[in-house]
Structure 1
Amino acid sequence: MRILVTGGCGFIGSALVLHLVQDLGHDVLTLDALTYAANPVSLAPLSDDPRHRLVEADICDPKAVHALYTEFRPDAVMHLAAESHVDRSITDPGAFIRTNVVGTQVMLDGARTHWDGLDGAAKAAFRFLHVSTDEVYGSLPPDGFFTEESRYDPRSPYSASKAASDHLARAWHETYGLPVLITNCSNNYGPRHFPEKLIPLMILNALEGKNLPVYGDGLNERDWIHVEDHARGLVAVLEKGRLGETYLLGGRSVRNNLAVVKGLCAAFDRLRPEHAPHDRLITYVADRPGHDRRYAIDPSKAEAEVAWAPTKNFETALEETVRWYLDNEAWWRPIREGRYTGERLGLGATKAS
């Protein structure tokens, strides 16, 4: 297949692109604006692979997007590009509305024009997969689980912008017949995660002997899915999902934030015992505004309909993630030292004309 992936230099996107090309042999065009959280180094294993091409472009630019549809003629689109950090959405909500809402509309319009021009089997086979988050559903009671029938109740500018993008994708299916699929995932973890998010931030702070800041009482719960499990789930939904349907992808690994941080400390105690105990670095900071208390996903529909299930054990994979950061300083050190942006175009990215 020829697959257009937006946001392919991000955390989840890079895991997906590597899986599509290296494991499945697809031809992939990665469209990425290469903003602060994108790292082309994550796709370095594909730098000489003729099955992959990286193009620097903004999904909010209709001219660039439509040109790439025309040139590449994808069999499928996997739309992951998004602003995704809740704290940043609180201080700069406009950027989230632009990328997550307007950018999704531009990608959907480009897909519709492309799809309208296809014939026969190619038109019937085309798919647009919109990738979203469980945060659109708001906060759960202590024993609840999100399902595909859960009511939308976003609480932050980030989750509100993603909820809007979900509604746009669904509307383009209902109004124009565009063959759309939607996924909502739980919190991801694993290699190549930009270090403003909880797990990589704690790993690098622990490595450098810095405080490990935990919001509020640390008991906010999240369902954690390994990024490689998520990538497999996205492909399964693309290949087997029913058009117009939503599928929730979760890791069946609900943990509160404090437990996650203490698990990371325990892993560091085993891997770097000379600095133990690492839990002495835990500090509590003022809670985030609008901080949802609990997310948890029931992925039964995806498990039943597209033959996918998470495979990673959380505690084992968490320690593997720590090991990855310990072994890959060349990936994260430029980010920590602010030398990141100047290295963006060194791995074969071309600019959209």
Structure 2
Amino acid sequence: MKVLVTGGAGFIGSAVVRLAIARGHHVVNLDALTYAANLRNVATVADDPAYAFEHADIRDPQALDRILAQHRPDAVMHLAAESHVDRSIDGPATFMQTNIMGTFNLLQAARAYWIASGRPVGFRFHHVSTDEVFGSLGPTGSFTETTAYDPRSPYSASKAASDHLVRAWHETYGLPVVLSNCSNNYGPYHFPEKLVPVVILNALAGRPIPVYGDGGNIRDWLHVEDHADALLTVLKQGRPGRSYNIGGEAEVRNIDLVSMICAHMDVLNPDGAPHDRLIEFVPDRPGHDRRYAIDPTRMRTELGWRPSVTLDQGLRQTVEWYLQNRDWWRPLLDRQGVGQRLGTA
């Protein structure tokens, strides 16, 4: 296939680009190169003849029309989004413009392109979303594909809106779409404002490791390379109009996740051990969802997919990657907002 990937210079998008190229697909990477994007994420495939890069913004309808007409992809994988909850609390407008209007622009452009191409049966528009659209769970239960939406942050509200738009374009216009909602991702190339890289880099520098509230918030953790594999599976095998919840089958409290990372740091960077002495509880984020958990039954039974990397294996691999790739993350520490506490409004 030839696949147009939006946000392909970001964390999850670049994992999709690298894996798609490795599997013999042609990829057009469309990215606006905002603060969290990094073309070094795709440096290993940048010279591959099956790879092309388009510096463009999904908020620009004319650019989308041009890129689709020029490259004529067989599928669109839409990952471009503002995704940091703390930043959405401080500046929600950007999230509304990119995640809602950007998705609208892309749907319109994809629909026009699909019609102009004769409505090919094999065309797919794959919208990649988050489990945060479902809100917060109690002590038991899991999110399924039929869980009612209940977003609690500007970020999750903007993603919920984009999910609804994608479903509407399928029902109203017949655009062949598939959707996926994932749990928390971690792994190599993760921008250093999210929890896992913050813990690793603060531990390495001997700085306090911030844990929100009492550390009891629970998340299901999914290795980014497992997620990329799942996304390509959904793109190839998913039924049009269907949504798929993708989880890591690794539900854990934030404080326990931090402690696991510190334990790996003790082994891999013993000069700073014990690293858990740096843990510092800080005031919680406003509206912080207590628990997320994914029921992955549909991915397992319909598509035959389940994660291959355990949380302990993945965390050790991730710690090793950050220790071995300091030239990748050091320049990112100077980007706006990195290393600062955001989202306290």
Q: Indicate the TM-score class for this superposition, using the shorter chain for normalisation.
A: over 0.9
| Structure 2 counterpart of 1:269 | 266
Corresponding pairs, count: 337
Contact 2:127 2:179 in 1 (8 A): yes
Matched, 1:254 2:254: no
Cα distance in 2 between the residues matched to 1:166 and 1:137: 11
Paired letter, 1:4 = L
1:95 maps to which residue?
94
Native 8 Å contact 2:217 2:289 kept in 1: yes
1:236–1:307: 8 Å Cα contact kept in structure 2? no
Aligned residue type for 1:255: V
* 1:144 Cα deviation after fit: 1.2
Please list every run of at least 4 consecutive aligned residues from structure 1 whose deviation after the TM superposition is greater than 2 angstroms: none
Structure 1: distance between partners of 2:335 and 2:59:
26
The answer as to 2:133 corresponding to 1:132 is no
The residue correspondences of 1:93-242 to structure 2 (distance < 5 A) are: 93-119=92-118, 123-242=120-239
Q: Is the 8 A contact 2:203 2:272 kept in 1?
A: no
TM-score (norm 1): 0.94
Q: How far apart are 1:76 and its partner, in Å?
A: 0.2
Structure 1 residue 320 corresponds to structure 2 residue 307: no
Instruction: For residue 129 of structure 1, give the secondary structure of its aligned residue in structure 2.
Output: strand
Q: Distance in 2 between matches of 1:238 and 1:338?
A: 33
Q: Deviations over 1:56-95 (max 9, x none)?
A: 1000100001100100111000000000000000010000
Structure 2 unmatched ranges of 5 or more:
337-345
Q: Give secondary structure in 2 for the equivalent of 1:225.
A: strand
One-letter amino acid of the counterpart of residue 90, structure 1: I
- The alignment status of 1:33 with 2:28, answered yes or no, reads no
SS across alignment from 1:124: coil
Backbone CA RMSD of aligned residues: 1.1
Please report how far the alpha carbon of residue 101 of structure 1 lies from its aligned counterpart in structure 2 after TM superposition: 0.1
Percentage of pairs with the same residue? 59
Q: Does the residue aligned with 2:127 lie in a helix, a strand or coil?
A: strand
Using the TM superposition, give the Cα deviation of residue 337 of structure 1 relative to its aligned residue in structure 2, in angstroms. Answer: 3.7
Q: Which runs of 5+ in 1 are unaligned?
A: 340-353
Letter in 2 for 1:160: A
TM-score with structure 2 setting the length: 0.96
What code does the residue aligned with 2:55 have?
E
Partner of 1:346: none
How far the C-alpha of 1:308 sits from its partner, in A, is 1.0
Per-residue CA deviation, residues 156-207 of structure 1 (Å, 9 max, x unaligned), is: 0000000000000000000000000000000000000001000011111111
Note if contact 1:83-1:99 (Cα within 8 Å) is conserved in structure 2. yes
CA drift at 1:119: 3.0
Letter in 2 for 1:10: G
How many angstroms apart in 2 are the aligned matches of 1:11 and 1:116?
32
Partner of 1:81: 80
